[in-house]
Amino acid sequence: MPELPEVETVRRGLEPVLTGARLEGVRQNRPDLRFPFPERFAARLDGTTVLSVRRRAKYLLMPLSTGETWVTHLGMTGRFTLDGGQLGEFETPAPIAGPHEHLSLSARRDGTATRVGYADARRFGFMGLIPDAAVETHPWFAGLGPEPLGNSFSAAHLAEAFRGKAQSIKVSLLDQRIVAGLGNIYV
């Protein structure tokens, strides 16, 4: 499963292509991934401009010119491609084209169009559109702890979070309310 560093790598690959790009020709190839896509998802993305590409924990957040934020979680096998090439190196390539590509679009920026695809063979990933003002209070984000590389994360934070717990350190670190973005590999 992609964890914080892998999601950050994907973010850095998408950022120069999507930031400031107008999304065109959005094609949604199925009604759901882990959860159903939002109502009229493709139509709501089509014609919008991506303002930035951010990451919070294991989520990608892309605020749009419409006042909504496009949120993506890669799940276990979710992969973005740019012009057909995978973002990042993987030990075993995931199937990209064909029945596993669930979303495709063109990102037009400075007169150049880049094809962006999202494939997810196991469909454990998901996407949403959340009003910008509601992102922090949305159930996906409301209870998240600090980022492990952020200013809010410290030894004092961990000491307080672990106080009175009888569970193992690993189980505590996997709790996204204590530290956001960690998973089995990095814990």
160 is catalytic: no
E strand spans, 57-176: 59-63, 68-73, 78-82, 85-86, 101-109, 112-120, 126-131
In the three-class reduction of DSSP (H, G, I as helix; E, B as strand; rest coil), residue 126 is classed as: strand
Which DSSP string corresponds to 17-73? HHTTPEEEEEEE-SSBSSSBPPTTHHHHHTT-BB---EEETTEEEEEBTTSEEEEEE
The one catalytic residue in 3, 8, 15, 147 is 3
91 noted as active-site residue: no
Which residues are known to be catalytic?
2-3
